[in-house]
Chains A and B, each alone.
Chain A
Amino acid sequence: MSRDGKKILRGINLEVGDREIHSIIGANGAGKSTLAYTLMGIQGYEHEEGSLTFDNEDISKLSITERAKKGITLAWQEPARFEGLKVRDYLAIGAKSNGGITKEELRDALIKVDLKPDKYLDREVGEALSGGERKRIELASIITMKPKLAILDEPDSGIDVVSLKEIINFIQALKENGSSVLVITHREEIAAASDKASLMCEGAVLRSGDPIEISEFFKNRCIPCDSRVSPPKAV
């Protein structure tokens, strides 16, 4: 995948197993979100070379909708807001192709992201929600969709640190419900709760393997590295 003649993603070799939690870690600008958008088929992030397979099927030419219908979905780092669309209707959208959703399932999805159903079901997914509330509703919408592959772009961003454990529980609940999870994160704790991790740098996957080892490598080798895309600010 390239933009303005520059390769944004290159030589990516990544496999996410069935019911696997796979973390993608890397510095800002390493290409993590670009990878997520490319996998989802977002306009402007079209894959150019190589193969993209899901359940042994080539999905490289499929639209966003077609990929979603195969069971792939994406939770954006900063979710969109929808004027006039109620939370209950938003959460039901993803469940439409799975035969719909019951009132209990709607309530359960909100409870799992620590939101009170009676307070939120009839609110709009609009500007009146705080960033953290909107983010939790986005994660609830992933629960109701029951995807085969959930791509989560920094699910913890905008949510307070004390809730990190809840995010980890949420990711593990997705796995228990049959989903594979590709999670983009800066959080060591989320990576540690994964089955596998991959480290990205300048659009490439540098290495994949045990999440603890990958996190350690990132901390010890990448953060001090002068050639990383976004070097830390001088203190």
Chain B
Amino acid sequence: MPLLLTVITFLPLLSVAALLLLKADDHVWIRRIALAASIAEFLISLFLLRGFDASDSRYQFEELHQWIGQAIHYHMGVDGISLFLVLLTTFLTPLAILCSWESIHEHPKGFFTALLILETGMIGVFVSIDLFLFFVFWEVMLIPMYFIIGMWGHERRIYAAVKFILYTMLGSILMLVAILWLYNLTGTFDLQDIQAKLQAGIVSLPPSTELLLFLAFFFAFAIKVPLFPFHTWLPDAHTEAPTAGSVILAGVMLKLGTYGMLRFCLPLFPDAAHRMAPAIGVLAIIGIVYGALVATVQHDLKRLVAYTSVSHLGFVVLGLFAFNTVSIQGAIYQMLNHGISTGALFLGVGMLYDRRHTHEIKEFGGLATPMPVLMSFFLFISLSSLALPPLNGFIGEFLILIGTFQSHHAWAAWATSGAVLSAIYLLWAYQRVALGEITVEKNRTLQDASTRERIILATMAVMILFMGIASPLFTRRMAASTDNVLRQMDRPQNALRHPDSRPGRHFVALPAPQPYPAPVTVAERRARP
């Protein structure tokens, strides 16, 4: 289907135009149109599944047009890595809109506008193959999130919004320098071309250059993930954001970081990735354990859920940097799981907040009595988040641990402790919130989940179960692309190195940078098989 990706990417932006035509106080229709647009978007994005060829590791649904000068193209495509992340985005956005149905009273038009622009930005990041285009979406995405936190957040929203945007911008500006440098060396912004040139040895990077480029990209993504010790913006941003903001932030935006690592850091700079892997693995493990421990002692429920992200994303990074098919597939799967489970946790916490306007755990207690349905869902989601078989979280974590164990026994052992700790903090939190006697009188009369909330939570629960049982449906489509990444990491030059050699010790002398290769025109590219 031609133009499918363009349609998916820009449909939310187009629906913003429709929103802007409405009067600012027409709350009902603003919500309806936003929801309708996001559901339509989800349904259209399902066409991706139908046309996707699981055996093909290349980009599919490709679109290629000249944009700026000879070097910058409007180049889009999806492969097994980005396919489900796009679907995750289109799946979570309607739920985020639905959960804001009654909680956003001020300027709903601005809120839904920001949410839809955000969706365009996130999808754009996942489907861009041109580095310039990627960067444009990457940065543009920040602004709506900044507004969502800053305008509709809680008490310390401005502090959180500024911290969020400055952290991310600091990371991304260095990435911009790296992108320019890479262009300078290869003469193109096109990821496929850069990959091909590096792969074939037409352009070879001296080890020090490769390391710097790797670090510049990695730094941007590590802040986004966030990897310990770059995580300090996350608890603030999550705690202060409105529910929909947290859902999108945890559900999709954090994945942009791990996606970026998998898409850029590993295949473009494999030697540097190998060299840095020990350090990154250790940081990931620190993140897993530290995130879990800090989550345990939180007295703010939302902050607790935020810290679980630090822990869970540590698993993902660990899986990526264990460099084998199983662990990387597990990592991608865990990205999706985390999006669903943590998104659902934030939805649940948001529903509690809508009733009591607090996140303090001590304000709750015994909630299962007045709200059996809501609390059952909450338990179910918590179990998914702590990776209980046969729910979705189990599959991802298990794949990551198996894969990591193959290459690093110690990493896997440490990471497993994180899995144990997750049971402690989540179940303990559930116990304090839902079980026992009702400690605060106000809680006795709380309403159980409304129909709207039941729809939201049931959708999530079905998805959790489905992803737990039917995981081959997903991993089957990822396999070709993950293998492809590993193949790309295995450069011919590397063959000169002993496979078990210590990183960094056996680099062969690489030739000096070549002059600019002639830019490839669109016509030539299209003619290529």
Q: Do they bind each other?
A: no
Interface of B toward A, CB cutoff 8 Å: none
